[in-house]
Structure 1
Amino acid sequence: MSSHLVVKVHPLSCYSFGKKEAKVDKDIFLSDRLDRMRANFMRDGLRTYVEGILLVYEYGHPHLLLLQKGNKIIRLPGGRLRPGENEIEGLKRKLTSKLSSSSSSVQPIWQIGECAGVWWRPNFETLMYPYCPPHINKPKKYGPEISSIPQQLSRFSLDLE
């Protein structure tokens, strides 16, 4: 008997894709971003981020949908939660803002499943860990890492309908 949770994956043809206006980067260099994160942490404290793993399938194989920011950054859709905001509602808000048409008045219906993983950034650096290191009592940010998604999804069974 399998203890895997089942995730229903829809075909790519069920979705339509377009482009949105490019947003201007707040930071030119990674070091600038880390400096900004440090200043924000000192001002606001711990901030929670959420990111969604969006799966589709085509030709019988699952595919992960990612966002490309400019020519260099590829990431999962999501972002920072507002203070006191629920993770699921915040993820729905972020998915809508990042993936829905700007001109559409129709609100998408997002189906949010299980949490696939939590990652911790103990310092203002690029490395993140799938656990909060024991010597850290104030982690800086967490969220999933793209390269770990296959391992994180291994506890799920994919239903390619």
Structure 2
Amino acid sequence: MALPVDNNHSSESSDRNHVLDIYPLSCYYFGSKEALPFKDETLSDRLHRFKSNYAAHGMRTCVEAVILVELFKHPHLLLLQVRNSVFKLPGGRLRPGESEVDCLKRKLSSKLSEGSVLEWEVGECLGMWWRPDFVTLMYPYLPPNVKKPKECTKLFLVKLPESRKFIVPRNFKLLAVPLCQIHENHKTYGPIISGVPQLLSKFSFNIIES
């Protein structure tokens, strides 16, 4: 005999899973360290390097972190700004044989700490973006006619502890940007970052006072 499903209990459990605790920006400390070197290359050089890496290792996989703090009673997303113009989510490319979570922890430690691998609470994958060919355009889905995509970028939710010290390279800026400013602002932040607020729509935010 089939047992009745307790829909109320299931709904309450799901609601609890989708509550995201965030701490005020004032809980965190910030410092700087030596600049990270940039590759000064033309678009043609970058495309050539991309194709060479694909020929050697296959599809490139990148992982990026969605990290939230509270400021003025509103959730803010932590972004890295490069050369005062380009905004990026913290993260980077996997090494051959490296897991996605290990890569993200390594990248967060190298870009947001003094270099030692800190404990980072990497949560669920929020979304994936695909690059079908050697072009700049990426899609939030894999077109069914694309059998050999060239790149996949995965966004993971990363939950911060109550306090942490961020150490950022001098040629980067770490910014806390309100979600309402990012939402659908493709021109400033690009399609991946501007789509983050929609990916977070299933969560309710619980602001924990310091």
| Aligned with 1:26 (options 39, 61, 80) | 39
Residue in 2 that maps onto 1:136 = 146
How far apart, in 2, do the equivalents of 1:31 and 1:17 lie? 37
Query: For structure 1, which segment, 146-155 or 31-40, has the greater mean C-alpha deviation from structure 2 after superposition?
Result: 31-40
Residue in 1 that maps onto 2:64 = 51
Residue in 2 that maps onto 1:90 = 103
Deviation, 1:86, is 1.8
| Aligned with 2:198 (options 139, 151, 154) | 151
1:15–1:31 Cα change, 3 Å: farther
Name the SS for the 1:116 alignment partner. strand
Number of aligned positions between the proteins? 158
| Aligned with 1:114 (options 118, 124, 149) | 124
Identity, % of aligned positions: 55
How far apart, in 1, do the equivalents of 2:52 and 2:138 lie? 19
How far apart, in 2, do the equivalents of 1:125 and 1:27 lie? 19
Q: CA RMSD in A?
A: 1.9
Deviation, 1:30, is 3.5
Q: Which amino acid aligns with 2:27?
A: C
Name the SS for the 2:205 alignment partner. strand
Q: Which amino acid aligns with 1:155?
A: K
Report if aligned partners of 1:11, 1:58 keep a CA contact under 8 Å in 2: yes
Give me the TM-score of the superposition, normalised by structure 1. 0.88
Q: Which has the higher strand share?
A: 2
Deviation, 1:77, is 0.5
| Aligned with 1:125 (options 135, 159, 162) | 135
Deviation, 1:118, is 0.7
Name the SS for the 1:95 alignment partner. helix
Deviation, 1:28, is 3.4
Q: Which has the larger radius of gyration?
A: 2
